[in-house]
Amino acid sequence: MTGGGSGIGKAVCKALAASRAQVWVLDIDHTAADATAAEITQAGARARAVPCDVADSASVGRAFAEMAAQGPIHALVNSAGIAHIGTLADTNLQDFEHIFRVNVQGTYLCMQAVITTMLGQGGGVIINLASVAAVAGIPSRFAYSMSKGAVRAMTFSVARDYVDQNIRCNCITPARVHTPFVDGFIKQNYPGKEAEMFKTLSLTQPVGRMAKPEEVAALAVYLCSDLASFLTGADLPFDGGVLNLRT
């Protein structure tokens, strides 16, 4: 589980652990990964923290080698990612490349690192976190939309290439999810108007609120389970009606 130190990633780690999975908590923030693993183990479930910078091939290689040495890796959930605000005109090359390295290259490196293990053990599940920004025009999200569109496309490609090897690959496409990142973004950009902006951003979703990380996590657990064994090459919108109901 990449990005397991906070937000959606942390929620997925806890939900998988509650379903009796052995969870590996990968995050560039060692302290956050340790904290997630500690919460899980204190609740009586199984988890270990593994430091991992998904944008760095050597770091990814070490992390996945450590996990594979302990036994099969049944599922990989790619949640690590960063956001960026900007249009084409005001997105500089440095920011564009940074978004690409983390969101696109990071997903690629982690999938590539796990695929040999999954092939050797006779199958596995890969879940990627995309975004409604991958399929709908969202203002001032040029680089972020690019990255999530690439994640979505890679999902379809991996699903097609490995469907005959019992490896399933799907992606979840959420709308806005209420995480600490959202609270920090509002506080930084709209000081004194936090409540007003939270309401505005919540109403972007036709259902009238943001998703909860635990709701996304429940879908991820389902996709990892045998109940979803017929499902591969799918993009599952988890968007509160954004894509089909927004006027």
Q: Which residues are tagged catalytic?
A: 144
Where does residue 10 fall: left (phi above 0), alpha (psi -120 to 50 degrees), or beta otherwise? alpha
**Among all chains, which residue has been given the structure tokens 């709908």?**
136
- Any bridge partners for residue 177, and if so which? 211
Handedness of CA 166, 55, 175, 31 (dihedral sign): positive
Radius of gyration of the chain (CA): 18
**How far is 88 from 18, CA to CA, in rounded Å?**
42
Beta strands in the chain (DSSP E): 22-27, 46-51, 75-78, 124-129, 167-174, 235-238
Task: Give Dmax (Cα) for the chain.
Answer: 55
